[in-house]
Chains A and B, each alone.
Chain A
Amino acid sequence: MSLEEVKVEPKQKFLDIYQEHINDIKNGSPDYINEIREKAIKQFEILGIPDKKDENYKYTDLNNEFDNGYKMYLSPKNIKFEVNDIFTCDVPDLNTKVILLLNGWYYDRENLIHELPGGAIIGSFQAAAKRYPELVKKHFANYAKMDKEGLVAMNTAFSQDGVFFYVPKGVVIEKPIQIINILMDEEEGFTQHRNLFILEDNSEASIVVCDHTLSRPNFLTNSVSEIFVGKNADLKYSRMQNEHNGSKQVSNLYLHQERDSRVNANTISLHGGLIRNNVHVMLGGEGCENTTTGLYLTDKGQHIDNYMYMDHAYPNCTSNQLFKGVLDDFATGAFSGKVLVRKDAQKTQAFQSNNNILLTDDADIKTKPQLEIYADDVKCSHGATVGQLDLDALFYMRTRGIPKKEAKLLLMSAFAYDVIKTIQVPALQERIQDLVDKRLRGELSRCNSCQMHCC
């Protein structure tokens, strides 16, 4: 008789959890969502969790990370804390209404839906799915395709809540909406929230999303955000990732742009144990403009992996991608960016650039920019660099009396600024600059309390 345990694949564990808790999971969601859920779990059974054999996950083995037995949040368990004790949000000009998600659930259970002036709506995704079925049905699971991404399928099967944001035609939301994802518990947890943002034609909005861990245990997040940007609409989206070294997150962002829309999206990865960002952009109409940028600062054993897919499906669209990173100690990272220019997408302008600075011999980054062009009248470029700090510039500064450490900081800060200046929310731009400088100085070594006043 063998005493060897049969190893259960993490995929099977999640399939079992799904079956076991199917009532909890479906409870609270309308039928049309649960029908998609059923399709999603089947798809997840086929695709599973990506491992290194998957070309797109070659440098980040997620199968391992999901094999952890962390607690899942299948109902909104509220941990009582006073928001104002923890957050001192002193970024000026942000919308006073701060939206909190706690372990993937909309925090303010008393007020799940807020109607804003002009007919805009912000609130809990779960509540919105029930209250505005026509609106949600039209967009939900339409952009985050589960036919290729096992983790999107998994999120679609399991996720119950998240943030819903709706801006009707022609409405302009003046002040940025701030969403804070909080992870806080006494034990290790795994969250999967789902956001849906809808900007109808000719509308405008800015969204700022911050990720924070507020307690020590390890966390894993597998989030999906779908954003629909209607004709001639304008979205500014900034994400700030600031979690502790015991946190791992996979963030899937799907942007669908209609004709003549404009999107500026930035992801600033300040801190986190393992971060995998998947950004998919569909330029789904003529004349779209998209700027997607990312900045990542890693040290110790942190790992960052940015994956970007820009789909030029229509003519006359412009996309700009800029990703920059500084890797210290034995941090590792990867960047993979694909620009697809379809056959009919003439007059496309697509630019992509990834620049990295390695501060030590042990830090490592794999970078893979790719262009796939099927149209003949296009202007595209891509490039990647991996280097050290410019020694000539360092010496030049030192001969002016600037100590080596300060000179290095100035150079790193200047390197990062190229990304920071693409942030289009002015107050946030300043704050991020400040945070990045602090991070580079090593003053923000952990972020499990918001005493840092970082958002």
Chain B
Amino acid sequence: MTAAAPPLPAAWRLERRGPEAELRLTGDWIARETGLRDAAAVRQVLAEADGAARLRFDASGLGRWDSAFVAFLRALREAVAAPGTQRLELDEAGLPDAARRLLTLAAESGAAAAGTTPPRTGFLTLVGNRAIAAWAEVVAVAALIGETLLRGGAALGGRARMRATDVWQLIREAGPGALAIVAIVNGLVGGILAFVGAVQLRRFGAEIYVADLVGIAMVREMAAVMTAIVMAGRTGGAYAAHIATMQGNEEIDALQALGIPTNDYLVLPRVLALVLMMPLLYLYACAIGLFGGLVVGMATLDLTATAYLVETQQAIAGKQFLFGLVKSITFGALVALAGCHIGLKAGRSAADVGRAATSAVVAGIIGVIALDAIFAVCADALKF
């Protein structure tokens, strides 16, 4: 409101006339300009009106008003109606018509807000609930993995309810779309390995073994793990956010209502796309990582490209690649399943989408590293 004059402070004065009291309301009652009269003011009015049977209003001196005025009147009404106070009748005839309307409107539906604070839970209950939730989570994840495996078999036979276009689209996003970042990360990791190795090995005159170091580290560990971490951040998070947003828009409800199984339609293509693309990305990452090592090795040591490559060739055998490929396939499945599972169980608000993306990335990265540790132990036991 464009107020020409500065606002007059909202004020009231109570006059007693025998059994009647009159509340004269003056000034501007605008919440934004003059603030709200709080419960203390209401108590004071009632204290001054103590003993009176009727309270009348005089609003002839009232300036501009908005919700602040209505809120004051409402608080007054509630205080008078509260049990344990003296009987005081409010005669609202003196109030502006519009204010009376708003009061009626607010009262009709104005059932006091129900208990808003959730009941406090004890420590044991909390632990118990967490444990039950954690177990339910384990069951849900196991169910998802099992179902995906079963349906994956069906998909290979062409019997799953998913569309080839979706799979192609997802493959394009997960595979070619990730080439640049996978190349940058693995090229740098290969280079860093070569550099660190060169500094140490030079002291023993064993420069040529930089090629072995980079080759074995990249092929057995780094290429698969770094690529999986990149994909967890890039693709796992995207899957979770996408599916959580669909959840919020009731798109998943629509799928279920149509009888389209969400597992077939949403989870399977994503798992398939990553399981197919991760091994290829792994091989690509190996090549780039070895190249990064080669460049650094040639630059910092006096090695020829031929010598470096021959040494690399001798260091890494075919089964190293097999080991890496198996890992990358597992990592792909893990990242895709984590993203889809977290997206599917997300809530329906905008914040839930963000939370789902975050936890999908975190779960993906932690899962990849934990799985890698398990692989290392198994490989050691099997003398692989």
**A and B part of one assembly:** no
Interface residues of A (CB under 8 A from B): none
Interface residues of B (CB under 8 A from A): none
